[in-house]
Amino acid sequence: MSDVSSLRRMAAAVRFALLPIAATGMLLGSGGASAASAAQTAVDAAKPLCAGGKTITIVWEAGLQSLDPQNFSGPMWEKLTGCKVKVVEVPASEMFTKIMQEYRAGTGAYDALNVVPAWMPDLVQAGALEPLDALVDKYKYRAELKNIAPTYRDNQMTVNGKIYGFPDDGDVFVMYYRKDIFADAALKKAFKAQFKYDLAPPKTWKQFDEIGAFLTEKLKAKGTYGASMFREAGYGNFLFQERFRNEGGRFFDGNTMKATINSPVGVKVFEGWRAENRFMPPGVEKFGFVENLATFVKGESAMTISWPPYGRFAAGYLANEKALDWVPKTTIAGKVGYALPPGGHPQLAMGFALSVASTSKQKEAAYLFIQWLNSEEISNQRVKLPYALRDPFRNSHFTNPEYLKLWPDAKNYLATLQAGSKTGLLDLSLIQTDKYEEALRQGISRLWAGEDAKKILDDIAKEWDTVTQKVGVDKQKAVYNAWAAKGGAYPK
Amino acid sequence: MKRSANLRLALRYLGALVLTVFFLFPIYWLFMISFKTADEIYAFPPVWWPETMQWDNYIVLFRDGDATTVLNSFIVAGASTVLAMFLGTICAYSIARFRTGGDNLANWILSQRMVPPVAVVFPIFLLYVWFGIVDTYLGLILLYTAFNLPYVIWMMRGYILDIPLALEESALVDGCSRWQVIWKVVFPMCRAGLFATAIFTFVFAWNDFIFALVLTRTEITTYTVQVTHYFGGQSNFWSKISAMSVLGTVPVFIVVGFMQRYLVRGISLGAVKG
Amino acid sequence: MSGPTVRSGDRGFRYTLVAPSIFVLLLIGVFPIVYLLMVSFQGLTMTDNDTSFQGLLNFRALLDDTRLWQSLMHTVFFTAIALPAELLLGLAMAQLFIDRMPGRQVFIALLVLPVVVAPIVSGATWSLMFDNRFGPINQILGWITGEEMAVLWTVKPHLVYPAILMAEIWQWTPFMFLLLLAALSGVDKSQLEAASIDGAGWWSTFFRIVLPAIWPVMAVAILIRGLDLFRLFDVVWALTKGGPGTMTETISIFTYVKGFQQFETSYTGAVALLIIVLLTVLLTVLLKRVSIAR
Nearest to C152 among A101, A285, A438 (CB): A285
pLDDT for the residue B104: 81
Is A8 a residue whose pLDDT tops 70?
Answer: no
Percent of chain C topping pLDDT 90: 45
Per-residue pLDDT tens digits for B218-267:
889 999 999 988 876 666 678 889 999 999 999 999 988 888 777 776 66
C261 near A CB under 8 A:
yes
Nearest to C133 among A283, A443, A448 (CB): A283
Is B12 a residue whose pLDDT tops 90?
Answer: yes
CATH number reported for the structural domain that contains residue C189 in this entry: 1.10.3720.10
Is A117 a residue whose pLDDT tops 60?
Answer: yes
> Is residue A397, in this structure, part of any structural domain at all?
yes
A233 near C CB under 8 A:
yes
Percent of chain A topping pLDDT 70: 91
- Please state which of the ranges A77-81, A127-131, A175-179, C263-267 shows the lowest mean pLDDT: C263-267
Is C1 a residue whose pLDDT tops 80?
Answer: no
Is B56 a residue whose pLDDT tops 80?
Answer: yes
Phi, psi of A163 (to 5 degrees): -80, 125
From C158's Cα to the closest Cα of chain B, the distance in A is 23
pLDDT for the residue A15: 39
C263 near A CB under 8 A:
yes
Nearest to B233 among A92, A298, A329 (CB): A92
Nearest to C156 among A291, A435, A450 (CB): A450
**Mean pLDDT, range A100-120, rounded to an integer:** 91
From A25's Cα to the closest Cα of chain B, the distance in A is 33
pLDDT for the residue A270: 97
Nearest to C156 among A126, A435, A449 (CB): A449
Is C200 a residue whose pLDDT tops 70?
Answer: yes
Q: Which of the other chains make 3 or more beta carbon contacts under 8 angstroms with chain C?
A: A, B
Which residue of B lies nearest to C23 if distances are taken between CA atoms? B146
C166 near B CB under 8 A:
no
The total number of structural domains that make up chain C: 1
- Are residues B44 and B157 located together in one domain of the fold? no
Straight-line distance from the first to the last Cα atom of chain B, in angstroms, rounded to the nearest whole number: 34
List the 24-63 stretch of B: residues with Cβ below 8 A of C. 24-27, 29-30, 33, 41-46, 48
Is A23 a residue whose pLDDT tops 50?
Answer: no
pLDDT for the residue C178: 87
- Are residues B252 and B203 located together in one domain of the fold? yes
Q: Which residues of A touch C266 (CB under 8 A)?
A: none
Q: Cα separation of C182 and C257, whole Å?
A: 40
Q: Please report the DSSP string for chain C in residue order.
A: --S--TT---HHHHHHHHHHHHHHHIIIIIHHHHHHHHHHTSEE-SS-EE-S--TTHHHHHHHH-HHHHHHHHHHHHHHHHHHHHHHHHHHHHHHHHHS--TTHHHHHHHHTHHHHS-HHHHHHHHHHHT-TTTSHHHHHHHHHHSS-----TTTSHHHHHHHHHHHHHHHHHHHHHHHHHHHHHTS-HHHHHHHHHTT--HHHHIIIIIHHHHHHHHHHHHHHHHHHHHT--HHHHHHTTT-STTTT--HHHHHHIIIIIS--HHHHHHHHHHHHHHHHHHHHHHHHHS----
**Mean pLDDT, range A247-261, rounded to an integer:** 96
Which residue of C lies nearest to B30 if distances are taken between CA atoms? C125
Helix (H, G, I), strand (E, B) or coil at A65: helix
**Mean pLDDT, range A284-289, rounded to an integer:** 89
Percent of chain C topping pLDDT 70: 95
**Mean pLDDT, range C77-96, rounded to an integer:** 96
> Is residue A146, in this structure, part of any structural domain at all?
yes
Q: Cα separation of A130 and A163, whole Å?
A: 9
Per-residue pLDDT tens digits for A411-466:
999 999 999 999 999 999 999 998 999 999 999 999 999 999 999 999 999 999 99
Phi, psi of A36 (to 5 degrees): -90, 15
- Are residues B33 and B80 located together in one domain of the fold? no
Q: Are C244 and A446 an interchain contact pair (Cβ–Cβ within 8 Å)? A: yes
Picking from B56, B79, B99, the residue at the C-terminal end of a domain is B56
Is A178 a residue whose pLDDT tops 60?
Answer: yes
Per-residue pLDDT tens digits for B117-149:
888 998 999 899 889 999 999 999 999 999 999
pLDDT for the residue B262: 76
Of residues A266, A262, A261, the one with CA closest to residue A247:
A266
Is C2 a residue whose pLDDT tops 50?
Answer: no
Is A21 a residue whose pLDDT tops 50?
Answer: no
pLDDT for the residue B268: 66
Is C21 a residue whose pLDDT tops 60?
Answer: yes
Q: Are B172 and C93 an interchain contact pair (Cβ–Cβ within 8 Å)? A: no
Which residue of C lies nearest to A95 if distances are taken between CA atoms? C261
C272 near B CB under 8 A:
yes
> Is residue B70, in this structure, part of any structural domain at all?
yes
Q: Which residues of A touch B41 (CB under 8 A)?
A: 326, 328
CATH number reported for the structural domain that contains residue A56 in this entry: 3.40.190.10
- Please state which of the ranges A120-124, B107-111, B188-192 shows the lowest mean pLDDT: B107-111
Nearest to B239 among A106, A326, A389 (CB): A326
Higher pLDDT, C10 or A336: A336
Q: Which of the other chains make 3 or more beta carbon contacts under 8 angstroms with chain B?
A: A, C
> Is residue A427, in this structure, part of any structural domain at all?
no
Do residues A132 and A367 make contact, with C-beta atoms less than 8 angstroms apart? yes
Per-residue pLDDT tens digits for A349-382:
999 999 999 999 999 999 999 999 999 999 999 9
Q: Are A64 and B234 an interchain contact pair (Cβ–Cβ within 8 Å)? A: yes
Residue C244: is the preceding peptide bond cis (ω within 30°)? Answer: yes
B100 near C CB under 8 A:
yes
Nearest to B272 among C128, C136, C179 (CB): C179
Helices and strands counted in chain B (H then E) = 15, 0
Per-residue pLDDT tens digits for B76-97:
999 999 999 999 999 999 998 8
pLDDT for the residue A300: 94
Q: Which residues of B touch A65 (CB under 8 A)?
A: 232, 234
Which residue of C lies nearest to A120 if distances are taken between CA atoms? C47
Do residues B269 and C220 make contact, with C-beta atoms less than 8 angstroms apart? yes
Per-residue pLDDT tens digits for B162-172:
888 888 889 98
The total number of structural domains that make up chain A: 1
pLDDT band at residue C119 under the 50/70/90 scheme: very high
- Are residues B23 and B68 located together in one domain of the fold? no
Is B273 a residue whose pLDDT tops 70?
Answer: no
The total number of structural domains that make up chain B: 2
A300 near C CB under 8 A:
no
> Is residue C1, in this structure, part of any structural domain at all?
no
> Is residue C58, in this structure, part of any structural domain at all?
no
pLDDT for the residue C274: 93
From B42's Cα to the closest Cα of chain A, the distance in A is 7
B158 near C CB under 8 A:
yes
ipTM over 0.95: no
C259 near B CB under 8 A:
yes
Is C148 a residue whose pLDDT tops 50?
Answer: yes
Helix (H, G, I), strand (E, B) or coil at B4: helix
A481: left (phi > 0), else alpha (psi -120 to 50), else beta? alpha
Q: Are B114 and C279 an interchain contact pair (Cβ–Cβ within 8 Å)? A: yes
Residue B157: which domain range? 60-268
Q: Across chain C, what does the average pLDDT equal?
A: 88
Of residues A445, A404, B48, the one with CA closest to residue C239:
A445
Is C225 a residue whose pLDDT tops 80?
Answer: yes
> Is residue A384, in this structure, part of any structural domain at all?
yes
Do residues A19 and A74 make contact, with C-beta atoms less than 8 angstroms apart? no
List the 116-155 stretch of B: residues with Cβ below 8 A of C. 116-120, 122-124, 126-127, 142-143, 145-147, 149-150, 153
Nearest to C46 among A122, A282, A450 (CB): A122
pLDDT for the residue C238: 86
Residue C104: which domain range? 65-293
Please report, for residues A235, A249, A284, A285, C77, the alpha-carbon distance to residue A266 in angstroms, rounded to integers and kept in the order given.
Answer: 17, 7, 20, 18, 34
CATH number reported for the structural domain that contains residue B258 in this entry: 1.10.3720.10
- Are residues B138 and B14 located together in one domain of the fold? no
> Is residue A136, in this structure, part of any structural domain at all?
yes
- Are residues B80 and B198 located together in one domain of the fold? yes
- In which element (H, E) is residue A167 found? strand A166-167
List the beta bridge partners of residue A16. Answer: none
A107 near B CB under 8 A:
yes
Q: Cα separation of A95 and B232, whole Å?
A: 11
Mutation target vs C (from B20, B74, B122, B249; most C CBs, 10 A cutoff) = B122
pLDDT for the residue B267: 67
Nearest to A350 among B42, B129, B233 (CB): B233
Q: Are A432 and C244 an interchain contact pair (Cβ–Cβ within 8 Å)? A: no
Mutation target vs A (from C35, C129, C161, C261; most A CBs, 10 A cutoff) = C261
A329 near C CB under 8 A:
no
> Is residue A69, in this structure, part of any structural domain at all?
yes
Is A4 a residue whose pLDDT tops 80?
Answer: no
pLDDT for the residue B232: 64
